[in-house]
Amino acid sequence: MEGILLSIDTETRHRDQAYALLEADAHKILKLIEVQMENLTMPQCPLYEEVLDTQMFGLSREIDFAVRLGLVDAKDGKAILGKLEQQLSSLYEAITGQE
């Protein structure tokens, strides 16, 4: 019985670590978005958009991998991406409103 409890405890710890890593990566992307919103320089910097797209794609692949391993629920993974996409949408609206 002790082995089962240890296994469940280990699994819970792995899930917590997976969520923490995904949240940390999402936070880094959010910081990129916030800096861009503060400076509103995206129209002058197409490289920024490329970097952001690459970061978002990378995070989506990380989430997919964690879901396939059973460490993250697909719904929670989509919520992490959805939050970032919402911030990105706000950025585009802010830039469009400035032009």
Is the pLDDT higher at 39 or at 53?
53
> To the nearest whole number, what is the mean pLDDT of the chain?
83
More confident residue, 42 or 35: 35
CATH number for the domain running over 2-98: 1.10.287.750
The structure's pTM equals: 0.76
pLDDT tens for 4-25 read 555 878 888 999 999 999 999 9
Query: 23 and 71 in contact (C-beta within 8 Å)?
Result: no
Entry field: residues in the chain: 99
Query: 98 by DSSP, 3-state: which?
Result: helix
Residue 30 burial (CB count, 10 A): 15
For residue 78, give the amino acid letter: K
